Amino acid sequence: GESVGLHLPTLSVQEGDNSIINCAYSNSASDYFIWYKQESGKGPQFIIDIRSNMDKRQGQRVTVLLNKTVKHLSLQIAATQPGDSAVYFCAENEYGNKLVFGAGTILRVKS
Amino acid sequence: DTEVTQTPKHLVMGMTNKKSLKCEQHMGHRAMYWYKQKAKKPPELMFVYSYEKLSINESVPSRFSPECPNSSLLNLHLHALQPEDSALYLCASSPLESATDTQYFGPGTRLTVL
């Protein structure tokens, strides 16, 4: 079946720098995309979402960009903090409400 | 309040045991989900309930038996599990079973099968 994938399994950034986590998706019919953050021993936590009729959405310190032409999704975190260290998953919402997750990117923030 | 609660937090069981995982939400959501997550892997969908009825079963073995007794509760009954079933079991809920409804996850139950 179609799947969502990530380019970089691990990303290390210096505290205060901006982070960019990328995701490629293959299902051109997907209409809704979500980024989740998962800390060790916890469930995935919703960060931000975007619908296919948008190309950019901003939250608090986070921005999601969607490029439907190349089927690419990215999460930008401004002024990365140690508390941002976690695994980040992109997910696409296929038919019904079936979430398909990408492989995940580990974000490590160095102090 | 976007809280989904799960109990127990940890569970160790033998292959002949019968146990149950419990999930609860009080957000008025009408769709609830069970996911399985192995270490260093993304969550994988197991079951979807919509309005207390099973909507999706992702070809899960019958040793996993879901139950939705009411709109706030979701159970996962476990029987005759295998060691490879050891994983983090996540529950999630969303307002509806809609392609644009956000799913909110609980903290999970860490299951170990001996």
Residue A4 pLDDT > 80: no
Q: How far is B22 from chain A (nearest CA, A)?
A: 15
Residue A2 pLDDT > 80: no
Q: Would you state the pLDDT for residue B2?
A: 64
The residue among A4 and B78 whose pLDDT is bigger is B78
Which pLDDT tens digit goes with each residue over B56-109?
Answer: 899 999 999 999 999 999 999 999 999 999 999 999 999 988 878 899 999 999
| CA–CA distance, B66 with B21 (Å, rounded to integer) | 9
A96 lies within 8 A of chain B by CB: yes
A97: chain B residues, CB-CB within 8 Å: 31, 33, 48, 94, 96-99, 101, 103
Q: SS3 for A82?
A: helix
| CA–CA distance, B68 with B22 (Å, rounded to integer) | 10
Which pLDDT tens digit goes with each residue over A42-91?
Answer: 999 999 999 999 999 999 999 999 999 999 999 999 999 999 999 999 99
Q: How far is A86 from chain B (nearest CA, A)?
A: 12
Backbone angles phi, psi at A53, to 5 degrees: -90, 5
Mean pLDDT of B25-53: 94
What is the band of A5 on the pLDDT scale with cuts at 50, 70, 90?
Answer: low
B99: chain A residues, CB-CB within 8 Å: 31-32, 93-97
Q: Would you state the pLDDT for residue B40?
A: 85
Q: Would you state the pLDDT for residue A3?
A: 43
Tokens for B55?
């909507």
Q: Cα Rg for chain A, rounded, in angstroms?
A: 13
Q: Give the chain B residue nearest A46 (alpha carbons).
A: B104
| CA–CA distance, B114 with B111 (Å, rounded to integer) | 10
Residue A7 pLDDT > 70: no
Residue A79 gets the label, from left (phi > 0), alpha (psi -120 to 50) or beta, of left
Q: How far is A20 from chain B (nearest CA, A)?
A: 19
The residue among B43 and A29 whose pLDDT is bigger is B43
Which pLDDT tens digit goes with each residue over B3-29?
Answer: 999 999 999 999 999 999 999 999 999
Q: How far is B33 from chain A (nearest CA, A)?
A: 10
A29 lies within 8 A of chain B by CB: no
As a whole number, the mean pLDDT across chain A is: 90
| CA–CA distance, B102 with B104 (Å, rounded to integer) | 6
B53: chain A residues, CB-CB within 8 Å: none
Identify which of A32, A95, A102 has the shortest CB distance to residue B42.
A102
Tokens for A24?
């490629």
Identify which of B42, B99, B108 has the shortest CB distance to residue A97.
B99
Q: Cα Rg for chain B, rounded, in angstroms?
A: 13
Cβ distance A32 to B55 less than 8 Å, yes or no, reads: no
Mean pLDDT of B26-40: 94
B111: chain A residues, CB-CB within 8 Å: none
